Amino acid sequence: MCLKLNLKKNKLFAAFSLIFILWITFLLVLGVLNRRVITFYDALALNDVSSNYVSELPLLRYLLEPFAITAFILEFEFTWLFSFLIFYPILRIAYLLLKKYGKIQSKKYSYLTYVASDVLNFAFKVFSLMLSVILVIILVGYLIQGFYFVSRYFMVPIQIGVHICYFLIAIKILYVLIKLFHPKMTLNLRKKLNKNEKRNKTKFSKTLGKIKTEIVYLFAIGFLLLGANIVLISTKFPTHQIKPIVPLADDEFLFDFHVHTIMSDGWLTPEERVLWYIEHGISGAVFSDHDNIRGAVIAKEFVEQHNLDFIVFIGEEWTNHENDIHMNYFGLEEEIVPLESYTIGGPKAMNASDLISYVKANGGYITVNHYNYEPNPKGGYGVPYTLVELDNWGVDGFEIINSGSYSGKYEQIGNYCLSNNLICMGGSDTHTNEDLNTFVKIQLADPTNLTINNIFETLKANTHEVIAIQFYPKVVDFPNDLNDLGFYILEDFINYFLNINIFQALSWIGWSMILYFIFVFGYRKMKIISLQKLKSKIY
């Protein structure tokens, strides 16, 4: 079926088509350049080891590339909400002014706005109700068990609630589309519209009604965007595969010593996290949820039940929010929380120094995560405790890579570790479904002894590799103030597109074409349908 349109009379279609053509051309140029270069950097040896490893994307990843990379870039910071709160009112006011001064006059478009309004109102009600339920659950848990409950259980109701909301909204949209396109069905929004008109008889009530409508639209769109962010980062997309150029010997292993699941503030289940690691080609990992070992226990049971070639080590990230210090302890299969999370009948609660002493006295190991390397008012570096204090208390080491970051403070921390015979640790600290950005390569004298004790005694020699993976160079680097407002998303997308290969480009082209044809189909439907019929369908 051919769509013949006068581009001068169909400016929206012409503008969208021009943008589409430019976008496809841009992607084709990037694809031809075929620039995907992944850097592997050993932060312990201060050496680029990219010649020793390769990052490969599986076929399924190429098919889902736009969705996967959008999820990876969005992450879980949600600071893009600041940008939304800045730009949405500007765009909304511009739209209302254009409509007021007759620049948007299409009657068909006006009728379609009734449909959009109906869906947005439904989304607002669904999300508002679900948010209330989630907050009540968390509040009741907090009143019963304090912060201990929040740190352990808040993620589960959020995950379930958001997915339920999107399921209901999907049903609503499907219902609307069926009624719009079915020849004998109508939406019949007249009752709702008339009801609103009766409520807003006076000028004052009309003004209040308009303000209420704008607030509903703002929150509904915000909820939808935030919900989409959550759904994306909690979906296990295919990952890149880390492959050593020279295959690992029997005594060589790739480990990650810091990761999270939905048992604290992660976005994948323990089972999904295990499969995520296996797809990456990682030998084993320490599951270290905040203030609990539930995720680690579940992951270990999953591996054993399915006889998977993967090693789960049980760990915990002891997390003191009041003093902003996080420490991973290993080798103890028990839960210990900071004093702020003490609850009657709960696990042991200790301060930092007591925790270190307890772990060491019971044959465990403990390292400090993403430490605050800042001048301490008492002298030295490290807040709230100096590096020297933590060293004297008995920590085994510090992270010199966290989430792929290894420069700045991590270089100084690494120098201290090397000068004081402390372990230079690396942890991805991954919370979402993103590609793994950090791992440790270790060679064991006795590869049959895969115990925490054997691994950490080997790590003490600092002969291992602590690898950070850089997925694209920072060609564009916005000021931190802009990134704090959510512009990091734009920065990351630009840098990503400047470092893609032909297959990634083709994936974006394919999905862009699908979106374009959906637009063309919908636009054509609206052009050929009569105004009277559309009115009868909707109104």
- Per-residue pLDDT tens over the stretch 483-531: 999 999 999 999 999 999 999 999 999 999 999 999 999 888 888 888 8
Choose among 430, 368, 366: nearest CA to 404: 430
Torsion of CA 472, 289, 337, 420, to 10 degrees: -50
pTM, rounded to two decimals? 0.93
Name the 3-class secondary structure at 343: coil
Choose among 243, 180, 105: nearest CA to 522: 180
* Predicted local confidence at residue 2, as pLDDT: 47
* Predicted local confidence at residue 197, as pLDDT: 58
* Predicted local confidence at residue 7, as pLDDT: 58
Length in residues, the chain: 539
* Predicted local confidence at residue 1, as pLDDT: 42
Of the chain, the end-to-end C-alpha distance in Å amounts to: 29
* Predicted local confidence at residue 199, as pLDDT: 63
Q: Which residues of the chain have pLDDT under 50?
A: 1-3
Q: DSSP label at 405?
A: B
Choose among 214, 259, 252: nearest CA to 438: 259
Question: Which residue carries 């088509």 as its tokens?
Answer: 17
Q: What is the pLDDT of residues 298-346, one digit of tens each?
A: 999 999 999 999 999 999 999 999 999 999 999 999 999 999 999 998 9
Q: DSSP label at 238?
A: P
- Round to whole Å and give the CA distance between 221 and 223: 5
| Alpha carbon of residue 452 to chain centroid | 30
| Alpha carbon of residue 150 to chain centroid | 20
In sequence order, what are the beta bridge partners of 383?
Answer: 372
